[in-house]
Amino acid sequence: MIFLVLLASVLMASMAIYQYNEEAEEYHDDRLQRKENTVKSQIEYQLKTKTTFPIVTNKIPNIFKEKDFIYELADVHNLEVKLYDFEGRFLIASNASSIGEQTDIAPEKLPNNILEALQNSIDKRHITKTTENGKIIQSSYSYITDPKFKPLAILSLPYVQDDEIITSDLNEYLKWLSLVYLFVLVIAIALAYFLSKYITRSLKTISEKINQTRLDKQNTKIEIENTSHEISALVTSYNSMIDELQESAVKLATSEREQAWREMAKQVAHEIKNPLTPMRLTIQSFQRKFNPEDEDIHQKIDEYSKTLIQQIDTMSAIAEAFSNFAKMPAQKNETLNIVEVIRLALDIFNEEYIEFTTEKEDIIANFDRTQLIRVMTNLVKNAIQASVSNEKPNIKVNISDNLTRINITVSDNGIGIKPENKTKIFEPKFTTKTSGMGLGLGMVKNIVETYNGSITFTSEEHKGTVFTITLPKNPSVG
């Protein structure tokens, strides 16, 4: 509304200025025409009754000087009167003191373009406009004739346009127009303000409700009375959306709970499967190598029993963590001989191509025995699976340490990791194998990082992979 008022005021002012300019042009044209007609009438009268000279072109200066006729014309009409012959040569002017005198106002000769325009015009009249000192000067050129209507000379009347009165009227009009539109603008602003407050009151309520809408909380419906049909339709649509949103929230919550249980079930199944595999391998090895007459039978039975008990303890920890909805299994700080624990973890594997080396037989650190066994079991198991297709598989496990940290490497000469899979290798549920759930390496990474350690790898496709684990000797479990 405010814009329309401003636009209307600008348009009105523009139209007024344009109209005044048009009227000013028309006024000056008509005034020059009237002055020209009056001057020519007086000249015709002078030629008919008051001159004693022959009425011919070369006598024009004498005729107009007779009884100061040309000066009288100029004084009466407040114009400079100039006369030229048909070749454009100057004859006489009201501002010349003698016949044939050249002045700044009356040039020696008319330009050819003016003579041609005058000859070619239908009414034998030509108008030119020039600007001098900021003022517009119109000059009319026409023929004067003798009593027998035969052309005698060319009459030139320069006319200075005086727009002072018209400009004053225009300024006065624009002043009053500005006051009127300023008053209208103030009324429009006030009216627009109250109308917008009335119209947007309902919209503001709806906007606030929409901003407060959340998927995770109970949302209230909008109740607005005495509104327009459009606002009512909007409120109805919003309330319907709230009902649908509530239904979607219930379905989403149910789906999220189901998904969480499925993910937990997958991880529990994976965690239980890890100790079951070495237990099965241990029992099969025991069956194959059992000899009652062996002198070391009791020592071997003791080692097999320790291995089985460790795996059973791991499964118990998983079951306990699952039943308590805690992370699996609970991590502890135990003072361990890392070399001994890893050697025991590797004993469950029957592959003869697994090599274990260590710089020291005793590397003491604080760690969780069960977690360390799970880490090594996962890494070695993955290395075995990656090396199946190699005719001469080789897996190396190495331990080294310094004053504060332990380095464990597991390397193989298997199929390696494709470049496009390197960024996904530790992601949960990512796997390149036809079996398994892809939770192993993600779990290993979580365990290592919990103990403020790190795990990295280097791999070359078809040549093998090296995993490196760096652990602090005295970690602060996070």
**281 and 132 in one domain?**
no
Residue 148 sits in a domain whose CATH number is: 3.30.450.20
Question: And the tokens for 220?
Answer: 């209230």
> 146, exposed or middle or buried, with CB in 10 Å at 0-12, 13-18, 19+?
middle
| Structure-token match 């529990």, residue found | 268
Look at residue 198 and tell me if it is in a domain: no
Structural domain ending residue among the three candidates 137, 168, 199: 168
Look at residue 180 and tell me if it is in a domain: no
Cα–Cα distances in angstroms (integers) from residue 83 to residues 32, 80, 151, 185, in the given order: 17, 10, 12, 58
pLDDT bucket at 358, cuts 50 / 70 / 90: very high
Domain that holds residue 302: 268-472
What's the structural domain count of the chain? 2
Look at residue 205 and tell me if it is in a domain: no
The winner for highest mean pLDDT among 178-182, 269-273, 291-295, 396-400 is 396-400
Single-letter amino acid, residue 124: K
Structural domain ending residue among the three candidates 151, 168, 185: 168
Structural domain ending residue among the three candidates 115, 146, 168: 168
Which of 242-251, 361-370, 456-465 has the lowest average pLDDT? 242-251
pLDDT at 290 over 80: no
User: Average pLDDT, stretch 49-69?
Assistant: 83
Look at residue 334 and tell me if it is in a domain: yes
pLDDT at 130 over 50: yes
Give the pLDDT of residue 100.
41
**150 and 290 in one domain?**
no
Look at residue 218 and tell me if it is in a domain: no
pLDDT bucket at 214, cuts 50 / 70 / 90: low
Residue 440 sits in a domain whose CATH number is: 3.30.565.10
Give the pLDDT of residue 161.
78
In whole angstroms, what is the distance from residue 431 CA to residue 413 CA? 19
Look at residue 366 and tell me if it is in a domain: yes
Look at residue 407 and tell me if it is in a domain: yes
User: Number of C-alpha atoms within 13 angstroms, CB side, residue 373?
Assistant: 30
Distance from the first to the final alpha carbon of the chain: 65
pLDDT, the chain, mean: 80
**10 and 156 in one domain?**
yes
pLDDT at 31 over 70: yes
Quick: pLDDT tens for 332-342: 778 889 999 99
**303 and 161 in one domain?**
no
Look at residue 392 and tell me if it is in a domain: yes
| Structure-token match 């080396």, residue found | 357
**162 and 283 in one domain?**
no
What would the DSSP string read from start to end of 67-103?
GGHHHHHHHHHT---EEE-TT-BEEEETT-SSTT---
User: Average pLDDT, stretch 129-149?
Assistant: 85
Could you tell me where the beta strands, DSSP code E, fall in 330-375? 334-337, 354-358, 364-367
pTM of the shown model: 0.37
Quick: pLDDT tens for 237-252: 877 887 777 777 777 7
**164 and 273 in one domain?**
no
Give the pLDDT of residue 27.
82
